[in-house]
């Protein structure tokens, strides 16, 4: 409850609005799931393969000052996967669109959730999840590329936090909107 406002007391039009918004975001998340699985992959290893900087295959890897190197390879060493390799300019594009987009989604989810009938401490925790998840998600991409490939786990963790926040907000909000019984004073 916030200043006497509760989801359960909203007029029907507002309840329908909130419900359809939450459902729509859920559908978008499922579409993003499919997109991520096909374009990048859903494991830290797959994220690392798409985001980490390209390393030399030759002895240049060991001798940074070396100007050239050559070695024989088999065709099996060349990537056969039609996977996206995200280079820095694409990372910049992705960051700017997704930071705006995900933050707006997190903001609208949070706005609905502010009127849920949940203890303030729990509300504070849950409402922060999509925001923190977004920052971890996008920040993890940059850290994977420029600090350590092993930090690709942050991208998965960020996505999981965002999804956890969405799931909790949606379930609690839908319960409040349609199932919560008003307590008579």
Partner 1 sequence: MKIPCRLLAAALVSLCLVAPARAHITPPVVLVSDRDAVVSLLAGARRFFVREVRLTAAEKQAIRQQTGWTPEDDFYRFYIGRDDQGRVVAATVFLTEFTIHGPVRVAVALGPDGKVKGATVVELTEETYPWVKPLLDRNFTREYVGRDARGTFAVSAGGGESMAQFYGQVVASLIQRAAALYETGVIKRGDAA
DSSP class of 77:
G
- 64, burial (CB in 10 Å: exposed 0-12, middle 13-18, buried 19+): exposed
Contacts of 84 (CB under 8 A, 6+ apart): 39, 40, 50
7, 49, 52, 118: which one binds partner 1 (CB under 8 A) = 118
Interacting positions 7-26 with partner 1 (CB under 8 A): 26
Could you say whether residue 4 binds partner 1 (CB under 8 A)? no
Could you say whether residue 111 binds partner 1 (CB under 8 A)? no
Which of these ranges, 13-21, 69-77, 107-115, lies near partner 1 under the rule CB under 8 A? 69-77
Q: Which residues of 135-164 are buried (b: 16+ CB within 10 A; e: fewer)?
A: bbbbbbbbbbbeeebebbebbbbbbebbbe
Q: Give alpha helix (H) positions in 86-119.
A: 88-113
Could you say whether residue 52 binds partner 1 (CB under 8 A)? no
12, 75, 184, 185: which one binds partner 1 (CB under 8 A) = 75
DSSP class of 180:
P
30, 104, 111, 147: which one binds partner 1 (CB under 8 A) = 30
Widest distance between CA atoms in the chain: 81
Could you say whether residue 162 binds partner 1 (CB under 8 A)? yes
In the complex, the smallest distance separating the C-beta of residue 92 from partner 1, rounded to whole angstroms, is 9
Which residues contact partner 1 by CB under 8 A?
A: 26, 29-30, 32-33, 35-40, 42, 47, 50, 54, 56-58, 60, 66-75, 77-84, 86-87, 89-90, 93-94, 97, 102, 116-119, 122, 133-134, 137, 155-156, 158-160, 162-164, 166-168, 170-172, 175
């Amino acid at each position: 409850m916030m200043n006497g406002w509760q989801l359960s007391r909203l007029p029907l039009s507002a309840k329908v609005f909130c419900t359809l918004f939450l459902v729509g975001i859920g559908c978008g998340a499922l579409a993003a799931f499919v997109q991520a699985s096909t374009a990048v992959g859903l494991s830290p290893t797959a994220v690392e393969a798409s985001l980490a900087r390209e390393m030399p295959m030759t002895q240049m890897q060991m001798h940074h000052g070396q100007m050239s190197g050559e070695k024989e390879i088999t065709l099996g060493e060349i990537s056969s996967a039609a996977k996206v390799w995200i280079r820095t300019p694409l990372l910049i594009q992705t960051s700017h669109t997704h930071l705006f987009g995900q933050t707006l989604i997190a903001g609208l989810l949070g706005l609905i959730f502010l009127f849920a009938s949940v203890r303030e401490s729990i509300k504070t925790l849950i409402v922060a999840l999509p925001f923190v998840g977004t920052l971890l998600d996008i920040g993890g991409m940059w850290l994977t590329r420029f600090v350590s490939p092993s930090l690709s786990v942050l991208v998965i963790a960020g996505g999981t936090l965002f999804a956890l926040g969405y799931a909790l907000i949606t379930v609690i909000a839908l319960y409040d909107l349609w199932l919560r019984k008003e307590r008579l004073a």
